[in-house]
Amino acid sequence: QVAHGTPSGIDNSVATYGGFLAYTKGSEPQNLHSQRALRVIITNTNVPKSTKALVAGVRVLRNAHATVVDGILESIHNVALSAMSLFESSSKDSTIEPQLQDIIRLNHGLLSTLGVSHPSLERIRDITGARGLASKLTGAGGGGCALTLIPSDIAEDTVELVKRELAEEGFQCYQTVVGSAGVTVTRTVGNEPVQAWIGNMLSRNLSLAPDTNSNSEDPFGGIVSAFAILPDAAIARLAPSF
């Protein structure tokens, strides 16, 4: 609250639960149950900002021009709904990246209209846009970081070139993945995840072979899953016997 004034809690929620979440003030975060993960570049402008001050600035603007600002905010809301629809309606094998690039550009343009962009953020958009990439401010804007989507069909040489060009401007780049798993707890036998240990145990001691053509997370026809749900005490008793 010291940093954000009225925090939504979405940052810690998505870090904990992973995937993609949709949030509307006054409601619980909604898990979009997306089966995909997206590669992105997070670029730090190294420009300090105050979320509280930026939000307050938008509030002042709205007080002066309520009808106009409310229309912009409604458009931002519709952009978010469009993104939600893409994640919810697309399978893991389909690409939503072209539509997401449009949404990213629209979202940033609308936010910039509210006065929360910064010359450093616009410079990042110029550099990445020249290489066909879409970028937008993150958080409250005013500096801080920008997010750039890396399409799956882009050449790695182009990604590295963009990162070098951003670094030459004094920005710090971090390539990462969003939409992956959040906090997980992995049960182990020794240093081996329990599912892997069970699979190896079945192969070594019972001469069972996994189905290499199976798309299931359990190529042993459910045997690994059945053993994996046993309580820790039962697993501990099984381990020494094998």
| Mean predicted confidence (pLDDT) in 188-207 | 74
What pLDDT score does 19 carry?
85
- Both tokens of 38, joined, read 């997206």
Q: What confidence score (pLDDT) does residue 242 get?
A: 46
The pLDDT assigned to 109 comes to: 97
Q: What is the pLDDT of residue 158?
A: 96
* pLDDT tens per residue, range 160-171: 999 999 999 999
Check whether 129 has a pLDDT greater than 80: yes
Evaluate if residue 208 carries a pLDDT over 70. Answer: no
What single-letter amino acid sits at 170?
G
Instruction: Tell me if 23 sits within 8 A of 10, measured CB to CB.
Output: yes
CA-wise closest residue to 58 among 47, 50, 49, 69: 69
More confident residue, 187 or 129: 129
Nearest to 140 by CA among 110, 111, 119: 111
Amino acid at 169: E
The torsion angles phi and psi of 150, rounded to 5 degrees, stand at -105, 105
Place of tokens 């106009």: 68
User: How far is the first Cα of the chain from the last one, in angstroms, to the nearest whole number?
Assistant: 53
Across the range 122-149, mean pLDDT stands at 96
Judge contact between 41 and 174, C-beta under 8 A: yes
Q: What's the rounded Cα separation, in Å, for the pair 239 and 194?
A: 10
Give residue 216's pLDDT.
60
pLDDT in tens, 55-113: 899 999 999 999 999 999 999 999 999 999 988 876 665 688 999 999 999 999 999 99
pLDDT, one tens digit per residue, over 175-190 is 999 888 788 777 777 7
Model pLDDT for residues 5-25, shown as the tens digit of each residue: 666 677 788 888 888 888 887
Kindly state the helix (H) or strand (E) to which residue 238 belongs, with its residue range: helix 232-241
Question: Closest Cα partner for 200 from 238, 171, 237?
Answer: 238
What share of the chain in percent tops pLDDT 90? 50
Which pTM was predicted? 0.74
Active site positions, annotated: 11
Residues 6+ apart with CB under 8 A from 80: 22, 107
Angle at the Cα of 157 (from 151 to 129), degrees rounded to 5?
50
